[in-house]
Amino acid sequence: MERIVKRRPPDYQYTQAAFSALRGKYPIARYTVCGRSLCSRSIYAFILGEGESPAVYTAGYHGQEWLTTLALLRFFEELCYALTNGKELAGVPAASALEGRSAVFLPCVNPDGVEIALHGPRAAGQYQPLVEQAMRGSTEKWNANARGVDINHNFDAGWEIARRMEREMGITGPAPRRFGGDHPESEPETIAVTGVCRQTDARSLLCLHSQGEEIYWQYGVSTPKRSPMMARILSASSGYRLAQPAAISSHGGAKDWFIAEMNRPGFTVEIGRGTNPLPIENFESIYLRIREMLMLFLLM
């Protein structure tokens, strides 16, 4: 198999090229743009299968966590290859896995944030002065979008609680991370995720982040009854431990919103271990460890 998805940091130019190449090679899927970032970069969505209520895979919420985008692109490519050629993926016949099912992939929810993290504040276009002021000379902790809003703190699930915690930490405006915006769903990147989930009546949501080798699956009393079983399967497959997010990370996330609004299973998976951005040299070993888990998520 000659790969389209190579082992290199997936900046926007790379993601655009991968989108075009995958669309040309694998017409078995449907390819669309589900939203645009603040800087008008496309937020791509890839769709497989004809079943209703898809499993939704998302990645690239945070600028420094670009390895998650590469992982989801690689999984999508391998799944397309297996479907096209009647192969198995992670020991599962791909055609059987998608029989009566569907999946939607959003490989990079926050393309502006990834671009800023990789190429600096000039990637923010008209928002460059804001980014320069917020980052205070260093891009090494940049996770937010071009407006300094942390997308995974901008969802409508305990947002007010998270906002209070932000203020207690001294975060009152645009910042490299953890500023949840002026109100829930204030950012186009957030709306792209919620729009896909609502419009497709998604049955489950998987959000790839890094790092820690942990899986978060609960959100208070809204947690569905089948979530614990699904979480145990994902954990057993990957070897990642089941955990509870702490303090400010326990509200405002995509997984939290999905569980609270859709009343269906949502998961945050923290891939790899180390310091973000995780080294590109570690990509293959990280991906191979989660590939079976990604496949099993489609089946549940």
CA distances from 32 to 21, 45, 98, 256 (A): 14, 5, 20, 26
Q: Residue 223's CB: how many other CB atoms inside 10 A?
A: 17
Quote the CA–CA distance of 249 and 156 in Å, as a whole number.
13
Quote the CA–CA distance of 53 and 102 in Å, as a whole number.
7
Active-site pick, 52, 270, 281, 284? 270
The backbone torsions φ and ψ at residue 143, rounded to the nearest 5 degrees and listed phi first, read -115, -20
Question: Residue 1's pLDDT is what?
Answer: 81
The stretch 219-248 carries a mean pLDDT of: 94
pLDDT digits (tens, 9 = 90+) for 134-181: 998 776 789 999 999 999 999 999 999 999 999 999 999 999 999 999
Q: Which residues of 53-65 are buried (b: 16+ CB within 10 A; e: fewer)?
A: ebbbbbbbbbbbb
Per the listing, tokens 């609960």 go with 218
Residue 248: band (very low, low, confident or very high) from pLDDT cuts 50, 70, 90: confident
Helix (H) or strand (E) holding 188: helix 188-200
The stretch 247-266 carries a mean pLDDT of: 94
Q: Which two tokens stand for residue 273?
A: 């271990």
Q: Are 106 and 57 in contact (CB under 8 A)?
A: yes
Known active-site residue 52:
no
Question: Residue 245's pLDDT is what?
Answer: 83
* Mean per-residue pLDDT over the chain, rounded: 96
Question: Residue 139's pLDDT is what?
Answer: 67
- High-pLDDT (> 70) share of the chain, %: 100
